[in-house]
Amino acid sequence: MNTFYIKTYGCMMNVYDSNKIEDLLTNSGYLKSSNTQDADILIFYTCNVREKAVHKLLSDIGRLKTQNTKIIAVGGCIAQSEGRQLFSKIPVVNISFGPQTYHRLPQYIEEVLSGKRKRIIDGTFYKMDKFTECPKKINVNFSEHVAIQEGCDNYCTYCIVPYTRGREYSRPVKDILDEVKYLLDNGAEEIVLWGQNVNSYHGDAPYITIGQPKATWRIERLLQEVALLPGLRRLRYSTSHPKDFTLELMKVHAETPVLVPFTHIPVQSGSDKILKQMNRGYTATEYLAKLEKFREICPNIQFSSDFIVGFPGETDEDFRDTIRLAKRAKYTISFSFKYSPRSGTPAAKFPNQISEIVKEQRLAVLQKVLIEEQKKFNMSLVGKIQEVLFHKVGKHANQYIGKNVYNQSVVIKSKENMIGEFKNVLIKSAEENCVIGEIA
Ligand code: 5AD
Ligand code: SF4
């Protein structure tokens, strides 16, 4: 029996895809290996949103390849954007498969193993097929991700996603509801609806009234219906675009107890000039007004965000606007990155690219502010009781780590195994990146 090892880079979408690849290969008779030494097949599921991705991949392949390796397959966004060039840049690669083609991987591995083909490349945008051809998950976890849409039509000028993941595509409602029901029936209690841009979801409705045009459901309706499914204790969704937060979606948050009062609403910059050049479709004032409205409709809502510093043309004044916004928005958690030019995106060719030193300085300043805000929020939870779903053990004996509704890490000590348990926890103290408590 041939064994495989998958190394996954990047976002949760890639983690989701890698889990599907694991199910597909297991179903086709391959055995998962937990180390590269024994693996016949090495799969690298890649990301190129930032950094020198190909360079890093090349060095990882060199490091992990052994005498036992029969096949090297590179999947995901690097495979998609590099095309045939990947074979000349990294000649040991046998299979290059884009993010929409992973359902074909068992067949491609078979063809290479049998000697029928030496090299295979597939960058087709199959869209539907990979969802319908994936087997049902065998080992269902207490928390599961379900992809509801993929790709993006927003074309932010810095972002490679629309070119690697393709145009926006929403899965039909029925397929999503069936998958969620199956996961809940088999032990899942938390569901995360997943995609590049979930709040622009518009999927075919499960029933069509004769004589009526084909109906679609938007994210608001989908969340309401998923929330009704028996067995569901916690519902999340990610990731989203600020422009798609409608008043209706805010109301759904307020009226749906199982839906967490927390959402990721990435702002990227606080400067109107930079936001325009990024093609984000909102000003800083409009963005902040949206957060305010959200808080008015759903008073316990909390937000997280992404930031990019050092976008081409960003002046000190623009950066100060970002700092101002970071302070005013009061995020529970934020992710911040140095702008990284992606070949093929418009911003890579913009004039006035910012030096690495300035990017680093700005990132350090911004992160300091964001951490201060994060700590303030963590402190505000001290003395409060939070419902926590525990998912892993900590570094110390009897230590367990879980997530509250705000996706914050909550650390406790317990002699009982807490993994997969929902517990009420009294928060006793706060650190920068977590809060510490005891079972209430
Ligand atoms: N450079 C830096 N950060 C980027 N992101 C996306 N593209 C780039 C880029 N070229 C960040 C954005 C996005 C997050 C997933 O990654 O902040 O929200
Ligand atoms: Fe990329 Fe998100 Fe912009 Fe789409 S909305 S182009 S995925 S940053």
Among the candidates 213, 232, 260, a domain finishes at 260
Q: Output the domain CATH number for residue 14.
A: 3.40.50.12160
Beta strands in 35-175 (DSSP E): 41-46, 71-76, 95-97, 120-122, 143-147, 149-150, 169-170
Q: Which of 234, 188, 373, 395 is closest to 411 using CA atoms?
A: 395
Compute the C-alpha angle 282/433/322, nearest 5°: 25
Same domain assignment for residues 187 and 170? yes
- Adjacent-strand bridge partners of 303: 263
| Whether residue 299 sits in one domain with residue 271 | yes
In the chain, the N- to C-terminal Cα span, in Å, equals 49
Per the structure, the complete domain to which residue 278 belongs is given by 263-380
Residue 164 sits in the same domain as residue 221: yes
pLDDT at 36 over 80: yes
Bridge partners (DSSP) of residue 76 are: 46
The answer to whether residues 273 and 307 belong to one domain is yes
- Please write the tens of the pLDDT for every residue from 383-401: 999 999 999 999 999 999 9
Mean pLDDT of the chain: 94
Q: Of the residues 49, 160, 280, 340, which should be mutated to test ligand 1's pocket, given the most ligand atoms within 8 Å of the CB? A: 49
User: Which atom of ligand 1 lies closest to the CA of 159?
Assistant: 7
Partner residues linked to 399 by β-bridges: 413
Looking at ligand 2, which residue's alpha carbon is closest to its atom 5? Answer: 154
Q: Closest Cα to residue 321, out of 387, 391, 268?
A: 268
In a domain? residue 133: no
Reported as a single tens digit per residue, the pLDDT across 278-329 is: 999 999 999 999 999 999 999 999 999 999 999 999 999 999 999 999 999 9
CB of 339 sitting under 6 A from ligand 1: yes
Task: Please indicate, yes or no, if residue 9 is contained in any of the structural domains.
Answer: yes
Indicate whether 389 and 370 sit together in one domain.
Answer: no
Domain end position, chosen among 332, 356, 380: 380
CATH number for 245: 3.30.750.210
Question: Distance (Å, rounded) from C-alpha 402 to C-alpha 346?
Answer: 40
pLDDT at 166: 87
> Ligand 1: does its nearest atom lie under 6 Å from the Cβ of 65?
no
Which ligand ends up closest to the CA of 266? Answer: 1
The helix (H) or strand (E) run that includes residue 17 is helix 12-27
pLDDT in tens, 191-228: 999 998 999 999 998 876 666 667 899 999 999 999 99
In a domain, 302, yes or no: yes
Say if ligand 2 is within 6 A of residue 279 CB: no
Number of domains within the chain: 4
Round to whole Å and give the CA distance between 136 and 262. Answer: 29
d(CA 361, CA 108): 46
Q: Look up the pTM and report it.
A: 0.91
Q: Is the domain of 342 the same as that of 402?
A: no
Tell me whether residue 116 is in a domain: yes
Find out whether 142 and 188 touch, Cβ atoms under 8 Å. yes
